Structure 1
């Protein structure tokens, strides 16, 4: 998706003078960082190394004191709006965006381990997508956590997937007022199973992109809105040509 992201960042080089695909760090007044899973560290799907990779990325991004908002993306993610719209949405938000919900059944509460008591009880247990967005204050709390990080590393092992439970549980228990309990990354789970639907070239249309941009209702800074997702996944490489064709018209790049 590199050509699409280059189109997204075009004209913002004052904020992103170094146009590395793996990460773009802010300079001066921009105060926003979007970062991708780096190639140098090899986390394994379903393993605790996914959480370790996320914390490494946050810790590295926090070294620049001007960075104020942090977004986790993957190579299969696309932006649904132009840079200025996404920037304003994040910088002006009064909360972070980490999906968190209580789910009964084997893939929710069924993954809880009683050895986590008394620090994490069954009632504390939460699930959510790993694709987070958070402000600097919350990011510092995440990388500083030792207690919950250690508990999850020891007791949340497949078929307990830490990347789906650690942040939702930790943030809901310790900092619920800082979180919106929703993700900004749209994905299609309609087919069920352990992985979401992948989008190919023939899936991409103006109507589809418009639906992802404004087809949902949610709350932003206490007010109802139909702009609930800023990013979407999972898009395959052969979808790129249509995304590039429609981006100027739909996403207003």
Structure 2
């Protein structure tokens, strides 16, 4: 077991399914990082999870939230877990946000060395979402930027008195009074999964606790988890961000969810500079996890 300080790094887990895979991930993190602080938001409405099987360094958000894919409940669960983590007296210098389907690719020493020697406050994927990008003829690999503008920067209006009447406002001159964005507060989008230091965590917690227009707006829209934290952090001029989520994720299959990683993906995983990868499924291929255990031990 590496000689790692308990407050060097902590983990936020968002989980809702496959208890055996969750136990395995927690055991792996304990083995690699010498029983770090792990704060888990588990949706007990979706499946049970036995706390008796877990070590004392694992804390649970109580009461838990009923989470749903693409809804603001995912954002709220993340913030509540961050709050719990940084209420602890010996809170970690860095946090890493993981799902139950994630698994480490690098050794604990490499992950810690990369983070503790970093000049950055957070590693997060973020791209500015603009009307110009939305109107351009985009290639397929940039389609998500266009979709992000539709999600976060357009506004649909309807009339209760006119059946089937609906109009979509797209141009910033029309949407400006209806959206929380401005020259000082731009909209950003990217992957939900990120990591940050204590300063970034406390800024998110403090920002979220305020009754600000940005938080109120994101509570009302879908897929806030892919824009809310990006927008908060990328507009914080005192924070230094690295546009890198430090995750290996394969979107080659298309659709709303990434490819489930198998043994056939191992060569690509080994080439990656990412710290973690997702997503894995213990019921489909546990051999890939066994091999990663061997590599990262």
Do Structure 1 and Structure 2 share a fold, with TM-score over 0.5?
Answer: yes
C-alpha contact (below 8 Å) 1:129/1:164 kept by paired residues: yes
Shift of 1:55: 0.8
Shift of residue 214 of structure 1?
Answer: 2.8
Question: Within 2, Cα distance between the matches of 1:54 and 1:23?
Answer: 21
Residue 218 of structure 1 aligns with which residue?
none
| Counterpart among 208, 212, 215 of residue 269 in structure 2 | 212
Distance in 1 separating the partners of 2:249 and 2:31: 26
CA shift, 1:139, in A, is 0.6
**Bigger Cα Rg:** 2
1:41 maps onto 2:65 in alignment: yes
In structure 2, stretches of 5+ residues that fail to align are: 1-20, 39-50, 135-145, 155-175
Which among 179, 197, 213 is matched to residue 116 of structure 1?
Answer: 179
Q: Compared with structure 1, are the counterparts of its residues 175 and 21 closer, same or farther at alpha carbon in structure 2 (3 Å cutoff)?
A: farther
Equivalent residues in 2 for 1:77-156 (5 A)? 77-95=102-120, 96-103=122-129, 104-105=133-134, 106-110=146-150, 111-113=152-154, 114=176, 115-117=178-180, 119-120=181-182, 124-146=186-208, 150-156=212-218
More strand by share: 2
Which residues in structure 2 correspond to 1:1-253 (within 5 Å)? Answer: 1=21, 2-3=23-24, 5-10=26-31, 12-13=33-34, 15=36, 24=57, 40-66=64-90, 67-95=92-120, 96-103=122-129, 104-105=133-134, 106-110=146-150, 111-113=152-154, 114=176, 115-117=178-180, 119-120=181-182, 124-146=186-208, 150-156=212-218, 160-175=222-237, 177-199=239-261, 203-205=262-264, 208-215=265-272, 227=273, 229-239=274-284, 241-249=286-294, 251-253=295-297
Distance in 2 (alpha carbons) for counterparts of 1:145 and 1:191: 36
State the distance in 1 between where 2:279 and 2:234 align: 27
Unaligned runs of 5+ in 1: 26-34, 216-226
RMSD, aligned CA: 3.4
Aligned length in residues: 225
CA distance in 2, matches of 1:42, 1:138: 26
Deviation at 1:245, TM superposition (A): 3.0
TM-score by length of 1: 0.74
- Counterpart-to-counterpart distance in 2, 1:24 and 1:129: 28
Report how far residue 177 of structure 1 moved. Answer: 4.6
Give 1:197 shift.
1.7
Mapped contact 1:36–1:75 kept (Cα < 8 A): no
